[in-house]
Amino acid sequence: MSLSNLTVDGDRLIHRLEELAKIGALEGGGCCRLALSEEDRQGRDRVVGWMRDLGLAVSIDGIGNVIGIRAGSEDGPPVMVGSHIDTVRTGGIYDGCLGVIAGLEVIQTLNDAGITTRRPLAVAFFTNEEGARFAPDMMGSAVHQGFLDLDEALAVTGIDGTVVGEELQKISYCGDAETGHFRAHCFIEMHVEQGPVLDAEGTAIGVVEGVQGISWTELVIGGVSNHAGTTPMRMRCDAAVVSARIAVEARSIAEDMGGDQVATAGVVEVAPGLVNVVPNRALMTVDLRNTDERLLQQAEARLFSYADKVASDEGATIERRTLARFAPVDFAPEMTDLIEKIAKGQDLSTRRMPSGAGHDAQMFAPNCPTAMIFVPSRDGISHNIEEFTKPGDIQAGANVLLHVVLEKAES
Ligand code: GLV
Ligand code: MN
Ligand code: MN
């Protein structure tokens, strides 16, 4: 068979995705495999089993990243694909998993066709991409590519009071492969768009040119608990009111700035949380993103100065902690051009676009030529059990991935 006619088996790919989705399955669809949970362990075991069945040499590093290598006819840095298999609590079955399972499908397609590539190939999944249990997000890939210190990551405490290093030991995924020095020849991550653009336009392939900047901040506001019936309004120091005003301001800033600026107050917890008690504590998070670093800094400055002022007006204390901060990332033109060329050669419609979500690929971009392939998400829904991508769109994206990998592995 000529290499240019080679295609993946879409049914086999979808079957593996659905098998993985049974682990941590949620009522009504989707799944919950929070990083380093028991469900994450079971999902990891399943994917590692597939890697071994496909003949990959599996290694695990000190933060639990898993890499399966397929030898090439020559040694050297591998052409690497991958993503993550952890999910948010309300996760769909495609986010992250698609990039890993599509990588396995590329390997199986080459195995079945008896093709040995010149360069080695690698399929990887990285620990805690989501950051939903332990911040920052992209934790495993950041450690892997030398942007986050291993010991610092292992010491992170999660939203449930657990510690990364201890949870990693519990699930038996603390390996001995070194972190920080692995360099791929190039990195390609296939992912669902998680936004509405491709689906709305009926475009098959998103050629991702970069990832927008991400700023995650935790704010803890201290007020004074008092009786809800007897405390005059002028004498209140209400932590919940301060946090509510900050949440509303975050949205106003994003609306006022327009463009690509987005803002989300995803966590708001007030204590003591009783009907007749003025709240004395609020913990909240704000997620700010923009494709332009200068504008992202403006959004941060506006939000932080508002937060300080509204807390001071209420007589409340306020503490601020950065949970994650990533500047916008540009992908390599040689990679985006190749993805576009291959997609067009397969008669697929394409559009160039930035990624609104964070991805492991952004940790590779400074160290090797990197890019991403997006496929449509129905109605742009993600981080939601309703997340869905049509099997035909998955197959099309995986065929683009296959031929990008082949071209990079032979060149
Ligand atoms: C990861 O999914 C993120 O963009 O928050
Ligand atoms: Mn993802
Ligand atoms: Mn996600």
Please say whether the beta carbons of 13 and 123 come within 8 A: no
Ligand 1 binding pocket (C-beta < 6 A) is: 130, 137, 357-358
Could you read off the pLDDT of 239-279 as tens digits, one per residue?
999 999 999 999 999 999 999 999 999 999 999 999 999 99
Strands 186-192 and 317-326: what pairing? Answer: unpaired
Ligand 1: residue of 130, 291, 382 to mutate (most ligand atoms within 8 A of CB) is: 130
**Distance, CA 87 to ligand 3 centroid (Å)?**
6
Could you read off the pLDDT of 271-324 as tens digits, one per residue?
999 999 999 999 999 999 999 999 999 999 999 999 999 999 999 999 999 999
**Distance, CA 255 to ligand 2 centroid (Å)?**
26
Give the count of alpha carbons within 13 A of 147, CB side only: 21
Q: What are the phi and psi torsion angles at 193 (to 5°)?
A: -60, -40
**Distance, CA 142 to ligand 2 centroid (Å)?**
14
| Secondary structure letter of residue 378 according to DSSP | G
Query: Is the predicted pLDDT of residue 2 greater than 80, yes or no?
Result: no
Please say whether the beta carbons of 276 and 228 come within 8 A: yes
> Nearest Cα to 129, choosing from 40, 59, 69, 48?
40
Could you read off the pLDDT of 81-136 as tens digits, one per residue?
999 999 999 999 999 999 999 999 999 999 999 999 999 999 999 999 999 999 99
> Nearest Cα to 405, choosing from 206, 191, 100, 188?
188
Ligand nearest to the CA of 87: 3
The closest-lying atom of ligand 1 relative to the alpha carbon of residue 356 is: 4
Please say whether the beta carbons of 43 and 93 come within 8 A: no
**Distance, CA 88 to ligand 2 centroid (Å)?**
9
pTM summary value: 0.96
Query: Is the predicted pLDDT of residue 1 greater than 80, yes or no?
Result: no
Distance of alpha carbon 329 from the chain centroid: 14
The pair of structure tokens assigned to 83 is 């993503």
Distance of alpha carbon 72 from the chain centroid: 29
| Secondary structure letter of residue 211 according to DSSP | E
Could you read off the pLDDT of 128-178 as tens digits, one per residue?
999 999 999 999 999 999 999 999 999 999 999 999 999 999 999 999 999
Ligand 1: residue of 133, 134, 137, 382 to mutate (most ligand atoms within 8 A of CB) is: 137
Q: Which domains does the chain have, with CATH numbers?
A: 3-212+328-410 (3.40.630.10), 213-326 (3.30.70.360)
Gap between the Cα atoms of 389 and 391, Å rounded: 6
Ligand nearest to the CA of 98: 2
Over residues 347-363, the mean pLDDT reads: 98
**Distance, CA 225 to ligand 1 centroid (Å)?**
35
Q: Could you tell me which residues come within 8 angstroms of residue 404 by beta carbon, excluding any fewer than 6 positions away?
A: 188, 335, 338, 339, 342, 373
